[in-house]
Structure 1
Amino acid sequence: MPETDPKTRLLEAAMPHVPFDGWSETTLRLAAADAGIDRAMVDAVCPRGAVDLALAWHEAGDAAMVAALEAADLGAMRFRDRVAFAVRTRLDLVEDRELVRRGMTLFALPQYAGDGTRAMWRTADRIWTALGDTSQDINWYTKRATLSGVYGSTVLYWLGDESEGQARTWEFLDRRIEDVMQIEKFKAKARENRLVSGLMSGPLGFLSRVRAPQDRQQAGMPGRWRAPN
Structure 2
Amino acid sequence: MATPSLRLLRLRPRTTTTPLTSASFLSAQTPHRASYHSSNHPPPPGPFTPIETSILSSALPHIPVHGFTPTTLHLGAKDAGYLDASTNLFPAGAFSLVHYHLYTQRQALAARTDITNPPAPIDANGKPGRPAGVGAKVKALTWARLQANAPIIDKYPEALALMSLFGNISPSLRELSALSDEIWFLAGDVAVDSSWYTKR
> TM-score, length-normalised on structure 2?
0.57
Secondary structure of the residue aligned to 1:15 is helix
Q: Alignment partner for residue 58 of structure 1, among 81, 84, 102? A: 102
138 and 37 in structure 1: CA distance in 2 versus 1, 3 angstrom threshold:
farther
Query: What is the alpha-carbon root mean square deviation over aligned residues?
Result: 2.7
Partner residue of 2:182 out of 106, 126, 134: 126
For the Cα contact (< 8 Å) 1:64–1:93, is it kept in 2?
no
Does structure 1 residue 31 correspond to structure 2 residue 87?
no
Match of 2:53 among 1, 5, 8: 8
Is the CA contact (8 Å cut-off) linking 2:55 and 2:80 kept in structure 1? Answer: yes
Q: Which residue of 2 aligns with 1:203?
A: none
5+ residue gaps, structure 2, are: 1-49, 121-129
Per-residue deviation at 1:98?
2.9
Question: SS in structure 2 opposite 1:76?
Answer: coil
Deviation at 1:71, TM superposition (A): 4.9
How many Å separate the matches in 1 of 2:169 and 2:192?
Answer: 27
| Whole-Å separation in 1 of the counterparts to 2:88 and 2:196 | 36
Q: Contact 1:15–1:99 at 8 Å: present in 2 too?
A: no
**What is the one-letter code of the residue matched to 1:81?**
A
- The aligned runs of 1:71-220 (5 Å cut-off) are 71-73=117-119, 76-96=131-151, 97-144=153-200
Indicate the structure whose relative CO is greater, using CA pairs within 8 Å and at least 6 residues apart: 2
In structure 2, the CA distance between the partners of 1:40 and 1:141, relative to structure 1 (3 Å rule), is farther
**1:65 partner letter:** L
In structure 1, the residue corresponding to 2:68 is in which secondary structure?
coil
Q: Residues 127 and 73 from structure 1, CA distance in 2 versus in 1: closer, same or farther, beyond 3 angstroms? A: farther
Q: Is the 8 A contact 1:17 1:27 kept in 2?
A: yes
Q: Kindly provide the amino acid, as one letter, of the partner of residue 93 in structure 2.
A: G
Give the distance between the partners of 1:102 and 1:71, measured in 2 at CA: 35
TM-score, structure 1 as length reference: 0.51
In 2: Cα distance, 1:47 partner to 1:131 partner = 35
> Which one has the bigger helix percentage?
1
Q: How big is the shift at 1:136?
A: 3.8
Over 3 Å counting, the alpha-carbon distance change for 1:10 and 1:98 in structure 2 is: farther
Following superposition, the deviation at residue 134 of structure 1 comes to: 2.5
Deviations 1:59-93 (A, max 9, x none): 11111112104453487224322221111111233
Whole-angstrom CA distance in 2 between matches of 1:134 and 1:71 = 15
- CA drift of 1:95 comes to 4.4
Distance (whole Å) between structure 2 residues aligned to residue 142 and residue 15 of structure 1: 34
Provide, for residues 25-47 of structure 1, a one-character-per-residue CA deviation record: whole Å limited to 9, x for no partner. Answer: 23212321232213565444x34
Deviations 1:83-133 (A, max 9, x none): 211111112333412353332121122221222222111111100111122
1:6–1:81 CA distance, 2 compared to 1 (3 A) = same
Unpaired segments ≥5 residues, structure 1 = 145-229
Q: 1:135 to 1:47 in 2, by over 3 A?
A: farther
